[in-house]
């Protein structure tokens, strides 16, 4: 196993990150599997940091795709900070809700870093989380639909945002569960429609993943990985993630997420098979 990530490795990992960061299939799980297949040490600190940093490319794609929405929300937040009379604006409130909903994952991420990057980083955990997370996603589709009419984005509350944001902890602690899978599923269980749930997932990802990437940046070049490889991986993840965001929003407007759940089970079973046979090291 090597801790060095070359430019070609970075391209492959950038594609995997961009494709899977926002699809409910677990980017962490797919990155760890890909790293294992490439012969890269998934437990090395610089490798873990590399995968966190290239997430910034995917986040940049969200910033560009939702630029108009982000400008509107941050503008309302700024006006509300300066003028109390503007604090009834829903966008002002939503900006604070995103901040509040990010606090739990920050606390858990910082306080449990050694556990997250240690025992919980095992590919056995990834395999189990892929399968268990699939069950949650399947349940979310049926439970949310049983409530009758699903709520749109304008009907989302602070409680909804906190619960959806807090669900990101599941993906943080159990790589393979999927951050987007956890957030979209939680929103669906709360009776929010798929498009609104997916958009919430995107907005909540911005502070969480940006913070993680910046926090890990110092470790990303401690190994043999060059800044060139890091830049290439980040750039590739940006391009691929932008296309993935656009595709996912169109997909969920007409289809359930059950197809992703089935795919995750198959990947989880395949991973268990590779680990059990010794083809891959956990």
* SS3 assignment for 219-264: HHCCCCCCHHHHHHHHHHHHHHHHHHHHHHHHHHCCCCCHHHHHHH
Q: How far apart are CA 92 and CA 188, in angstroms?
A: 24
Residue 282 falls inside a structural domain = no
Tell me: pLDDT of 219 over 70. no
pLDDT of 179 over the 80 cut: yes
Beta-carbon contacts of residue 163 (< 8 Å; ≥ 6 apart): 186, 190
225 inside domain: yes
Q: Which domain range does residue 224 map to?
A: 7-277
Domain-located, residue 129: yes
In a domain, 155, yes or no: yes
Highest mean pLDDT among 34-48, 117-131, 215-229: 117-131
- CA 19, distance to chain mean position in Å, is 11
What is the rounded average pLDDT of the residues 110-121?
Answer: 83
Say if 159 falls within a structural domain: yes
**Which DSSP string corresponds to 132-182?**
HHHHHHHHHHHHHHHTSSPB-GGG--HHHHHHHHHTHHHHHHSTTS-HHHH
Q: Rounded to two decimals, what is the model's pTM?
A: 0.88
Average pLDDT of the residues in 91-104: 95
Residue 177 lies in a domain: yes
Highest average pLDDT, of 23-32, 77-86, 117-126, comes from 77-86
Count up the domains in the chain and report the number: 1
In tens, the pLDDT along 244-253 reads: 999 999 999 9
Give tens-digit pLDDT for 34-56: 888 888 876 677 777 788 788 88
């Amino acid at each position: 196993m090597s801790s060095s990530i070359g430019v070609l490795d970075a391209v492959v990992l950038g594609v995997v990150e961009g494709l899977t960061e926002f699809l409910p299939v677990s980017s962490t799980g797919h990155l760890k599997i890909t790293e294992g297949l490439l012969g890269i040490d998934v437990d090395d600190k610089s490798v873990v940091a590399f995968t966190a940093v290239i997430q910034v490319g995917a986040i940049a794609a969200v910033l560009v795709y939702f630029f108009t929405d982000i400008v509107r929300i941050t503008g309302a937040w700024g006006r509300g900070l300066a003028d109390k009379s503007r604090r009834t604006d829903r966008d002002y409130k939503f900006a604070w809700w995103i901040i509040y909903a990010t606090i739990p994952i920050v606390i858990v991420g910082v306080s449990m870093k050694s556990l997250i990057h240690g025992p919980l980083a095992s590919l056995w955990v990834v395999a189990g989380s892929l399968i268990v997370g699939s069950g949650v996603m399947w349940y979310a589709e049926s439970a949310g639909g049983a409530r009758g009419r699903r709520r749109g984005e304008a009907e989302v509350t602070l409680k909804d945002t906190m619960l959806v944001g807090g669900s990101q902890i599941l993906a943080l602690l159990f790589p393979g569960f999927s951050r987007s899978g956890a957030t979209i599923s939680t929103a669906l269980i709360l009776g929010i429609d798929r498009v609104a749930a997916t958009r919430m997932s995107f907005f909540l990802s911005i502070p969480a993943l940006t913070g993680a990437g910046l926090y890990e940046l110092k470790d990303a070049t401690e190994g043999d990985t060059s800044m060139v490889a890091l830049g290439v991986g980040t750039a590739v993840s940006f391009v691929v993630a932008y296309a993935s965001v656009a595709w996912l929003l169109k997909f969920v407007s007409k289809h359930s997420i059950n197809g992703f759940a089935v795919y995750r089970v198959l990947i989880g079973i395949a991973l268990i098979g590779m680990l059990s046979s010794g083809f891959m090291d956990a």
